[in-house]
Every structure is written in structure tokens, then in C-alpha cells.
Amino acid sequence: MAADRQGFTEGEIPELWNFIFNISLGMLHNEADAEDAAQEIFLTVSRNIGGFRGESSVKTWVYRIAKNHLLDFRQKRFKDPISFEIFEGDVRNFKPYNNELGLTAEEEKQYIEEVKTGCTAAMLQCLSPEDRFAYILGSIFGLDSETAADICGITEPAFRQKLSRARRKIANFMNKNCGLLNEEAPCKCGKRLLIALERGRIDPDRIRFKTESRTIRDYLGELNTVDTVAAVFRDNPYIDKKALFHSMLSDENAPYSEGINLLQKYMGKEAHQGSEN
């Protein structure tokens, strides 16, 4: 599975945390909500790790908890989901940017990247929560069908059906509207800078102090694919939130430590068994 490509071993739980956070970000389209969700997921893991029975890998068990929590989190926080029809109207009706902001070439490049990241995240929100989760696991992070189906608690054929449906909807929308895939499409990232700024989808201060981050593609490493649509999503940032994880553990009042220590023990044991095999 994708996380295993990074070779989680004992002591590398922060990488597991990062993976959960970035899945949460894809599901929720809001960094603060993703932080809240990741913390709640790890709290649930900490409270329930003692009941882990070893019927799957401990990471698959954690991902199942994440999946259930994120679907529930989404339903509670978002009552009016966006649709592809609504989003299509948005990307086809706007005043094109014509350098009204007087940006330098480097600034414009950074603004365009913010637009692309925000737009692809919005596309994910047009999918149903379960189809979105399937797309994030199967297309963006490249998990195999067996592992992803196990995480989702469904059969492989059922997972492949969800993934195929999600891929078709995303591809149809992008081929019709997105200049990244179709040069004749009406929406170009560089033309949406002004409207994105007006709607608060670009934060100049955030861009100014933004540090270089690795992309999802960097995280996955060598992963051959002919899926040009998924490749667009994999160029988005893979955000490092280890500092938040360590801050969380350092809080003496937070009930994480004992559960995290046990989780580390299980992960270390599985890594040792894997090396023996």
C-alpha cells in the first residue's frame, strides 16, 4: 500500500500521522478541519488500540478508523455539498485575469499553483464522500484494490466500481472544463487569479511565507501510472504536520501517550516480522 512504500517502521508513527492528515485534507478541503480530524482519529486509535486483535495489519486498522471518522465528520460539518454542475457554472463564468495585480513571474507562478490546488480540492468535494475516499486511496495515493477494499470494508469488485465511477466523473469534468488536460477547455488556472483572490481562495500572506513542501508525487516515490488525471492531483502539496503531532504528544493533559506507545509496539513488531519474511 502507498504508506508502506515509505516503509513505516518502529518510531515512524509521525509519518503515519502525516498520511492520515493528508487523507483528511483531501476529504475535507480545509486545513483546520483536517487537523481536527487527524487529532480525533489518533485519539480514537489511542483509546481503542488495546482491543486490536491482529485480524489485519495495524495500519489497515488505523485507516479503517480514519475512514469511518472522516465520513461521519463530513456529514456533520457539511450540509450543502457542491456538485459538478454547480462547479462547472463557476469555472465557466468569470472575468479572466489580465495582470491587474501586477505580479512578477514568480509571484504569478505561486498564485497559479494555489488556484490549481484549490480547484482540484474542490473537484474532490463534488464526489460523494465514499466515492471521494475511494478516489483518494486508489487514484491519488495508489493503493491496490485489495488493500483499499479492506480499509473500506467492502469487496474488491465493489471498491473497483466506486473507484471507476469516481475516476469517470473527475475525468469527464476535467476533459470538458480544465485547461490542464484540454487546451481548448474554458478554464485556465492563470485566468482565475483575480476571482480566486476576490473570493478569498488565495491568501497573499500565506503565499509570502510559504516554504517549499514535497508533493504527493514526491511522497509516493516511483509509481508508474498512465492516469494523467491522477497525475494532476499528485502534483499537489503533501503537507508535513509532524510538528503538530509532536506538540500534541507533549501536552501532558492529552490522553495519547499510552495508546501511541502501544501502536508503535505493534508497528515495530509487524516491521520485524516483515523483515524476517
Going residue by residue through the chain (277 aa), what tens digit of pLDDT does each one get? 333 333 334 447 888 899 999 999 999 988 999 999 999 999 899 888 888 887 888 889 999 999 999 998 866 665 566 899 999 998 998 889 988 888 889 889 999 999 999 999 999 999 999 999 999 999 999 999 999 999 999 999 999 999 999 999 999 999 999 999 999 999 999 999 988 888 888 888 777 656 667 899 898 876 666 688 999 999 999 999 988 888 877 776 666 666 777 777 777 666 556 556 5
Q: Are 151 and 67 in contact (CB under 8 A)?
A: yes
What is the signed CA dihedral for 135, 138, 140, 142, rounded to 10 degrees?
180
Residue burial 218-243, b: 16+ Cβ < 10 Å; e: rest: ebbeeeeeeeebbbbbbebbbebbee
What pLDDT does residue 10 have?
41
The pTM for the full model equals 0.86
Same domain for 175 and 248, yes or no, is no
Same domain for 19 and 50, yes or no, is yes
Same domain for 96 and 217, yes or no, is yes
Same domain for 152 and 205, yes or no, is yes
Number of domains in the chain: 2
Q: Within a 10 A sphere around the Cβ of 62, how many other Cβ atoms?
A: 28
Residues in a beta bridge with 266: none
Same domain for 13 and 24, yes or no, is yes
CA distance 69 to 75: 10
What pLDDT does residue 247 have?
83
What pLDDT does residue 147 have?
94
What pLDDT does residue 6 have?
35
Same domain for 163 and 54, yes or no, is no
Same domain for 118 and 254, yes or no, is no
In whole angstroms, what separates CA 208 from the centre of its chain?
Answer: 23
What pLDDT does residue 224 have?
60
What pLDDT does residue 74 have?
65
Same domain for 49 and 184, yes or no, is no
Same domain for 58 and 170, yes or no, is no
Q: Where does residue 82 fall: left (phi above 0), alpha (psi -120 to 50 degrees), or beta otherwise?
A: beta
Closest CA to 108 of 118, 123, 98, 119: 98
Same domain for 58 and 136, yes or no, is no
Structural domain boundaries, residue 64: 1-80+241-277
Same domain for 160 and 135, yes or no, is yes
Same domain for 119 and 105, yes or no, is yes
